[in-house]
Structure 1
Amino acid sequence: MTYLVRRVVGCLMLLGVLSACGGPGGAVSSAATTSGTPTRSAPPASGAGCAEAGELGDLADKGFVDALKKIPTTSTFATYAALDPTRAKKLNALQGVTAFVPVDSAWSAVDATQAQQLADPAWQGAAVEYALVPQTVLPEDVAAGKTGAMPTYRAVGATLAGGRNGDSIVLNGVATVICGPVAFGGGLLYLTDRVLLPSS
């Protein structure tokens, strides 16, 4: 089974228990708990945004939301992830995931349309779900061209595209990874310089 097929199958299995697949108008109060794919060995985190992110080596026992709360530059995204206690509990239980998390400075660059969307708690939940990929993604996967259409927790068609611009990892052609990969209890985190939202 190819890498892409395995990712799609994994996403389809998870979407059966997601409540947000109907778009931002639906309930965005739940996320899947899954055994996922075991986290492969990741290289040390690197990038221009790592220095401001604080101590990144003590997140091994932290779930997704708890790990975000320990990173000072992800407070906005952490607030969105923790907005619903039930969902936060399930997010903390996720295993084998990869998250592409915008740092706080990224939110100041959202356009007027995005800002209006993000005033809605449903879209705040959508931003969290769209940032989560139900697979372990290493820099080597991006370099090998295995991240062209990564399924996300948002919906089957809501994919993230990973590529490279020189030595940098770029998502959807616009968001650059500024620190990563950061290992936490449920998988890997990458910090990005732009906010990415699904189309619906």
Structure 2
Amino acid sequence: MKEKNQNILRALIAVALSLCVALLSVWAVVTEKADINLAINVGKASSFARVTRFNTYSNGKVQDSFDNYVSEFGGRFGEYGTATLRENILSLNRLRVDDRVDFVIEFTDKSSVDIQYRVVLECANDYYGMYEGLKVKVGSNYLDTTEYECSYIDGQPAPIESEWAMFPKGRDFDRIFVTVMLPQEGSAYSGRGTQLSVSVHVIPHT
């Protein structure tokens, strides 16, 4: 009888541990970064983000355009500047005042629960010191965006983090419109360059 009780206890412990592992696995997925062009699929959680459009502008005029996603995006500006998106790294070189790059992130999640997501842009390499001169806009369309100023805090580049957006289970996808630009007030940074990492952060909806 004692041995039978011990076997039952072992079985219950095994089930409890299995449930803990399952719950931790789902949590790990939901809180992981879903980087641009990176799919995450574990259990019932599945997030995917990709860039579907990429345009560069100088003085309001389109310089280069890509309508379909490819592994590398590249654009040019009016005065020899360039913008390149490789995986999740946006490289900006020799931008002039009023140069900007627009791109659209298409985000989807097939989880069985409601989630929240936000777009995060971080300075990956400020090799030519242009990060502090940039402005970033993020929104549901280009006419409804929130503007952020890139800056340094305590000697370190501060990340740009958009507001959390709700993504209910069953929704097909969301489009997030992002603009990175060198405004008039950033003229002191004209001709420089920097690199930004672009990612989508996902957490459970509470």
Report the TM range for the smaller structure's normalisation.
under 0.3
**TM-score, normalised via structure 1 length:** 0.28
Greater RCO (Cα-Cα under 8 Å, separation 6 or more)? 1
Greater percentage in helix: 1
Pick the structure with greater CA Rg: 2
